[in-house]
């Protein structure tokens, strides 16, 4: 078995155990394989283990991989910060955007989504840990913004994305994840079609499953440590 195949097996076992502990149906929890910095050969190998959804943070890098892997039935998610001058490329090449936090960009994506493609799936990114340096709207803004995005014709609002601030304090981590779950439940009361809580990475996937995540964004645990940037 290859290294990636072994890692995928381990992560699947971890998710299964977390679902059992939380009394959740494992079919409700999907893996988004975060492939930033990885080669298209590595993505191809991950596809061979059954993974279908891949996440990219950088527009150009993502599009190169999308084009190199066109022979595979993959689903591509854009999860990095999105600037308005890159929105057209994202609308034309990706299936999902997780990092939507402004109405202006949502309107651009909707206008730029090509007619021959299905509506673009989007998640509203919420800055749940109130980090000054991070993208994401505030919890107070989330409902109004979600309602406006839900009216855009070429977008399909699927849910929320959060990136909690890293912490060693397990109780603090759990509290932040619980807050995200609560906000997601609140939004669902107004927008019942929402079905996605994009939450949890390699280091907090068990806690995220316990707090209702439906989509885990996992890089390191699948592909190994990322090469550090020069
Ligand atoms: C890189 C990244 C991940 C994956 O992180 P790992 O710790 O490698 O699992 C998940 N979400 C976002 C938004 C990322 O940028």
Q: What is the CATH number of the domain that holds 153?
A: 3.20.20.10
In a domain, 229, yes or no: no
36 lines ligand 1 (CB under 6 A): yes
Measured in angstroms, how far is the CA atom of residue 203 from the centroid of ligand 1? Answer: 10
What is the model's pTM?
0.96
User: How far is Cα 139 from Cα 183, in angstroms, rounded to an integer?
Assistant: 7
Is residue 120 one of the residues assigned to a domain?
yes
Q: Which residues of the chain have pLDDT under 70?
A: 229-230
Domain range enclosing 175 = 3-223
Q: Does residue 25 belong to any structural domain of this protein?
A: yes
Is residue 7, in this structure, part of any structural domain at all?
yes
Half-sphere CA count of 131, side-chain side, radius 13 A? 16
Residue 100 lies inside a defined structural domain of this protein: yes
Q: What angle (nearest 5°) sits at the alpha carbon of residue 102, between those of residues 220 and 38?
A: 20
Ligand 1 lined by 62 (C-beta under 6 Å): no
Query: What is the spatial distance between Cα 15 and Cα 104, in angstroms, rounded to a whole number?
Result: 36
Of the candidates 91, 98, 73, 60, the residue with the CA atom closest to the CA atom of residue 198: 98
If one counts the domains in the chain, the total is 1
Q: 135-167: per-residue pLDDT in tens?
A: 999 999 999 999 999 999 999 999 999 999 988
Which ligand 1 atom sits closest to the C-alpha of 226?
A: 8
- 203 domain residue, yes or no: yes
Residue 228 lies inside a defined structural domain of this protein: no
């Amino acid at each position: 078995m290859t290294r990636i195949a072994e890692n995928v097996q381990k992560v699947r076992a971890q998710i299964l155990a977390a679902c059992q502990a939380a009394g959740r149906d494992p079919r409700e929890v999907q893996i988004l394989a975060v492939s930033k910095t990885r080669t298209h050969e590595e993505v191809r190998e991950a596809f061979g283990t059954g993974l279908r959804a891949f996440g990219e943070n950088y527009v150009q890098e993502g599009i190169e991989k999308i084009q190199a892997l066109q022979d595979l039935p993959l689903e591509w998610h854009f999860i990095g910060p999105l600037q308005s001058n890159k929105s057209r490329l994202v609308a034309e090449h990706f299936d999902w955007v997780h990092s939507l936090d402004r109405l202006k960009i949502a309107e651009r994506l909707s206008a730029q989504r090509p007619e021959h493609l299905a509506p673009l799936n989007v998640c509203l990114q919420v800055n749940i840990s109130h980090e000054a340096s991070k993208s994401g709207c505030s919890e107070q803004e989330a409902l109004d913004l979600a309602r406006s995005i839900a009216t855009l014709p070429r977008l399909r609002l699927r849910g929320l994305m959060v990136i909690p601030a890293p912490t060693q304090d397990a109780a603090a981590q759990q509290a932040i994840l619980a807050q995200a779950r609560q906000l997601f439940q609140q939004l669902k009361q107004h927008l019942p079609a929402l079905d996605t809580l994009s939450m949890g990475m390699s280091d907090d996937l068990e806690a995220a499953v316990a707090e209702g995540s439906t989509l885990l964004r996992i890089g390191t645990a699948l592909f190994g440590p990322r090469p550090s940037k020069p």
